[in-house]
Every structure is written in C-alpha cells, then in structure tokens.
C-alpha cells in the first residue's frame, strides 16, 4: 500500500489523481490533501476518503478543526509539520505556478518522492536540480512521462527528444488574428480539459516552451537535443530518437490519469480499462507540423533563456506567470504575453543560481521590469 499526499487536490490534476486513488483501493491510500481556498470542496474530498489524516488550506484559515478523523490546518508550516509527522510514500505536487517554489524545495529536502505536475518550479530551479529524476522526482506532465517511459538506460544513446504539442486553440493562426483574442477564446483547449493557467500556456505555446526547459531539468538533455513538433490529434505525447536512428513514440489516450497512474504505480504497470487507447481499434491519422516560431515566439524565448542560463530561467517563468494574469484580467493583450517575455529575457543580465535567494532576486527583478514594460508602474 502506498500512502499518498495530494497537494492541489481540488484542481484538475488533483481530481484526476483522486480518481486513480479511488480505482486502486488496495494499492493506494490518501492520507493528506491541500487546496488554496476551496474549503467545501476539500471537505467533500475528505468525506469520500476517510483515510485522510489531515487537510490544509493555504489561502485562508479553515472554519472548522476537523471533519471525522481528519484535522484541518492552515498554511505551509502546518503542511510541512504534517508531512514530518505522517510521512507519505509519495507527494503529488499539483499546485500551479512558480510562487510555490519554496514549498517544493522544502518537500524535496525532506527526501520524499514527489510526483510532479508543476513544471514552473522545475524551470525556475533548474540549476539547483538537474537532472531531477535522479532526485526522486516522478514526472506527471504527459510529455515528460512519455520520455521517462521510453528513455533508454544509457542517456548517451539519445540523439534527441521531440516534445509533441497539440498546437492549442490558435494552431494555424497568425499575429493579426491573435492581436484581439479574448481570455475566453484562449482558455478553450481543443484536446485537454485543464486548469486556467496551463490552458492559457497552451494557447501561447508557453506550455511547450516551459516543457523544453522542464525536459532539461528532469533528464539533463542539452538544449540542442530538445525539439518540438505540432501534432493536432495529440495521440503521441512525445518521442525519443536514438543515435542508431530508432525512434520511440509514446502514445495513448489524452487523459492525465494515464501519466498520473504511471507515476503512482512506478515501477509497476496496473491494468485500467478506462485508459485504453480506442485509436488502436479504429482507423486514425497522425499529422506532424513544425511550429510557427515567428508567431509563437515562446519557443525561441525558452531557448534563449536556457542559453543565457542562471537567473534567466526564473525571469522567463515569473514573467509568464505575471503576464498570463495580466492578460486574463484584461490589462494586456494576448501577444504581449510572448512579446514582453522575449524582451525581458533578452535584456536580463543573468547571475548564477546557487540558492533560493538568487531565485527570489530574479523574481523581484522581473516584477519591477514587467510593470515598467506593461506601463503599469
Ligand atoms: N491540468 C492538466 O491537465 C495539467 C497537465 C499537465 C501539467 N499540469 C500542471 O499541473 C499543475 C496543476 O494544474 P491544474 O490544471 O490541476 O491546476 P488547477 O486546476 O488550477 O488547480 C490548482 C490547485 O492548486 C490549488 N492552489 C492554487 N494556487 C495555490 C497556492 N498559491 N497555494 C496552494 N494551493 C494552490 C488550488 O486550490 P483551490 O481550488 O482552493 O484554488 C487547486 O487545488 C500546474 O503546474 C500545471 O502546469 C496540469
């Protein structure tokens, strides 16, 4: 029996993780959960999973102390104490954004295996982590899970990895069209049901840009070994090409429960008929295209950020977090998310990242610069 703590339990990845835990009651036991402010939803989860010993809200104090045997707490210190008092076998980290990087490193320092959905912390902490799979991090992001599942033991046998990308809601559109798109249009993803932040990142291809850096953080690949192809059907979740010319493709249903289940079952495979790939019984097509890098500059910005290195990675991610929020609240346009980020990464003079203080400094620099750029300050 693996004891699971689920951070971000009320979100999209959180809900899919609960589904997997419910499906394997003899193998997985939920012992702790967290959310930001959704107390009622957290209570419902605890009622469905009475094995939960504790529940933590980050954004406010809970209105009650306990539900059944589950104790309710507030804040990061309480969460870290609970992890120390009742250590789980795996922590599922499904809180979005780079704002929780200190929490992530605190858990990593406790030597607890982390099933990691959050790519932003891996991007910002690249220099402190690489390669992260050697540090007990189990990828949940479907592209990284694909690479993890097919990568050979000898990493030097990898010629390159190709991250596949559905193209998002604006595949095939040019800058003229994108100038006036609304948050509602940007959040409508054609293939995946996801939280707001990752849906917007898919529309700007920032999601793929972050994943290029995430692949470097997780597996240690050189920048020139990581590329991207648009694959609108999203059957493939990524590919690995080996030095002798063989190409391995991981394919499957577009459902995050598959990579979540693998992270929780690893090194085993568990049968789950709900996740079978119907495509294999029907005729289906696979199309692959090169991304339109002129329109979606996010990919080149990520490459530039990796080449500059150090604090630039935290700048790139922080800028994306803030600019995404500014777009969703109507302050800036869709193209500004990509254009401003490129300008910031381009003019940033990086410093080495040797600890959390260097990342904090990069966050402060980005916040100050972004408000000048967006003419808010
Ligand atoms: N969704 C996907 O299919 C998908 C795929 C690949 C990777 N990812 C990655 O997985 C992560 C989670 O994405 P998601 O789509 O599941 O997000 P989501 O649906 O927005 O859910 C976010 C969860 O985190 C909690 N939360 C939000 N801000 C928090 C904060 N500052 N402190 C503590 N808890 C906080 C939320 O609590 P409340 O409900 O109380 O606000 C909720 O439980 C992201 O990093 C994303 O990039 C997601």
- Sequence-separated (6 or more) residues with CB below 8 Å from residue 37: 57, 58, 59, 60
What pLDDT is stored for residue 84 in this prediction?
Answer: 96
pLDDT, position 376: 60
Task: Note whether 223 and 299 are within 8 A (CB).
Answer: no
- In our burial notation (b when 16+ CB lie closer than 10 A, e otherwise), range 194-218 reads bbbbbbbbbbbbbbbbbbbbbbbbb
- The residues near 38 (Cβ < 8 Å, ≥ 6 apart) are 10
pLDDT at site 52? 97
Tokens of 25: 């009651």
192 lines ligand 1 (CB under 6 A): yes
- Return the best residue to mutate from 91, 192, 194 for the ligand 1 pocket (most ligand atoms within 8 A of CB): 194
| Domains, the chain | 2-153+254-281 (3.40.50.720)
- The CA-based angle 287-225-147, given to 5 degrees, is 65
Give the length of the chain. Answer: 377
Instruction: List the beta bridge partners of residue 29.
Output: 3
The residue to which tokens 């789950």 are assigned: 272
- On whether the CB atoms of residues 79 and 94 are closer than 8 A, the answer is no
Q: Residue with the nearest Cα to atom 1 of ligand 1?
A: 194
Residue 283's pLDDT is 72
Of residues 69, 133, 58, the one with CA closest to residue 100: 58
Residue 120 CA: nearest ligand 1 atom is 45
Atom of ligand 1 nearest to the CA of 142: 6
- What pTM did the predictor assign? 0.94
Distance between Cα 117 and ligand 1 center (Å) = 9
Ligand 1 center to residue 339 CA distance, Å? 25
Q: What is the mean pLDDT of each run of 10 residues along the chain (377 residues)?
A: 98 97 98 98 97 97 94 97 96 95 95 96 92 82 96 93 94 95 90 83 96 95 95 94 97 95 97 89 87 96 97 98 96 96 97 96 97 72
* Closest of 39, 35, 45, 31 to residue 85, by C-alpha: 31
* 8 touches ligand 1 (CB under 6 Å): yes
pLDDT reported for residue 279: 75
220 in Cβ contact with 148 (< 8 Å): no
35 C-beta closer than 6 A to ligand 1: yes
CB of residue 151 inside a 6 A radius of ligand 1: no
d(CA 205, CA 216): 17
């Amino acid at each position: 029996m693996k004891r699971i703590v689920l951070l971000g339990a009320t979100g999209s990845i959180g809900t899919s993780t609960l589904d997997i835990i419910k499906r394997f009651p003899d193998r997985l036991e939920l012992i702790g959960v967290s959310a930001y402010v959704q107390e009622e939803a957290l209570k419902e989860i605890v009622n469905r999973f009475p094995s939960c010993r504790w529940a933590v809200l980050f954004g406010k104090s809970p209105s009650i102390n306990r539900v059944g045997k589950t104790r309710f707490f507030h804040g990061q210190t309480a969460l870290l104490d609970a992890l120390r008092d009742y250590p789980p076998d795996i922590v599922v980290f499904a809180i979005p954004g780079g704002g929780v990087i200190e929490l992530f490193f605190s858990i990593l320092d406790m030597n607890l295996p982390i099933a990691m959905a959050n790519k932003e912390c891996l991007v910002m902490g690249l220099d402190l982590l690489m390669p992260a799979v050697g540090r007990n991090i189990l990828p949940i992001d479907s592209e990284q899970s694909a690479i993890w599942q097919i990568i050979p033991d000898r990493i030097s046998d990898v010629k390159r990895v190709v991250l596949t990308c559905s193209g998002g809601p604006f595949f095939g559109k040019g800058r003229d069209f994108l100038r006036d798109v609304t948050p509602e249009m940007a959040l409508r993803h054609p293939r995946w049901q996801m939280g707001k932040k990752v849906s917007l990142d898919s529309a700007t291809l920032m999601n793929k840009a972050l994943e290029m850096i995430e692949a470097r953080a997780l597996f240690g690949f050189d920048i020139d070994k990581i590329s991207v192809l648009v694959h609108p059907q999203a059957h493939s979740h990524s590919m690995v090409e080996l030095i002798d010319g063989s190409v391995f493709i991981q394919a499957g249903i577009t459902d995050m429960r598959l990579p979540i289940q693998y992270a929780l079952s690893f090194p085993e495979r568990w049968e789950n008929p709900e996740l079978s790939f119907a495509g294999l019984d029907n005729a289906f097509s696979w199309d692959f295209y090169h991304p339109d890098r002129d329109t979606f500059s996010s990919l080149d910005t990520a490459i530039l950020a990796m080449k500059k290195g150090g604090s630039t990675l935290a700048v790139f991610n922080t800028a994306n977090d803030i600019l995404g929020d500014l777009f969703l609240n109507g302050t800036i346009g869709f193209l500004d998310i990509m254009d401003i980020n490129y300008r910031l990464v381009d003019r940033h003079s990086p410093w080495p990242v040797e600890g959390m203080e260097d990342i904090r400094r990069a966050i402060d620099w980005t916040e100050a610069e972004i408000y000048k750029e967006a003419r808010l300050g």
